[in-house]
Amino acid sequence: MSKIFTLIFLVFLAFLFPVHAQVSLGLRGGYTLSATQIKNSQGYKSNSIGTSSQLKNLHADLIINVPVYKNLHFQPLVRYITKGAYLRPLPDKSGLLVESANQLKLHYLEVPMNVVFKIPVSIGKIVLGAGPYVAYGLGGSYDLDLLYNGTVLSTESHDVKFNYKDRGIAPGVELSRFDAGANVALGFEFNNLMVLGASLSRGYTNLDRTSSAKITNSYFSLSLGILLNREDY
């Protein structure tokens, strides 16, 4: 997976060089609602976007606009984002101590690679887009509750160690560093260079390398920023 990520990044850079004079850049940041879906063989299933399990955090983007043909553009982002969720407690086992992960935070450098269509209007452009993304895990943390008969006795914070045995969010769960999926985006570019954006992202890569569970990411984001230049000027 690391070789695929490197290859995509190199192709992406090579694509930019011939059209560097037309490329425009921008900076953007905003608010993220994320969820990590977990389903294991015991029937445990975490909640998703739109429920109380959502993790609220921030993200930051470098926007790159590359004209392709008329109103069609290639618009990749370089995004720093925190994904994760508040996880439901594991099923109670009466009379036994149970370890259950609570708050999960995973920090990623993500590259959404969207194809967008820009619709000119009087005050700017409506931006509609979609495409795949790849993400590289930089690190993370989770809170581990010790439960007895449904009561939390203690909580400890642990670092997520990608690709390190038994240091995922539960014993026996090994988290992969790489994530991939797809997203859809809606935005607006004002004539004064301000930009607004919203996106919905869904991961399709199982983050559990042991296959003892299915773990995927999803998030909804709202962004505000500014273009440093315009490719159509």
pLDDT in tens, 107-122: 999 999 999 999 999 9
Residue 233 scores a pLDDT above 60: no
Q: Cα–Cα distance between 225 and 48 in angstroms, integer?
A: 28
Residue 105 tokens, joined: 């935070």
Sign of the four-CA dihedral 4, 63, 181, 108: positive
pLDDT tens by residue, 177-201: 999 999 999 999 999 999 999 999 9
Burial of 97 (0-12, 13-18, 19+ CB in 10 A): exposed
Q: Residue 33, SS3?
A: strand
Q: Cα–Cα distance between 222 and 197 in angstroms, integer?
A: 6
CATH 1.20.1250.20 fits 2-227, yes or no: no
Of the two residues 90 and 141, the one the predictor is more confident about is 141
- pTM, full prediction: 0.81
The string of DSSP letters for 122-159 reads: TTEEEEEEEEEEEEEEEEEEEEEEEEETTEEEEEEEEE
Residue 132 tokens, joined: 């795949």
Contacts of 199 (CB under 8 A, 6+ apart): 112, 183, 184, 185, 186, 220, 221, 223
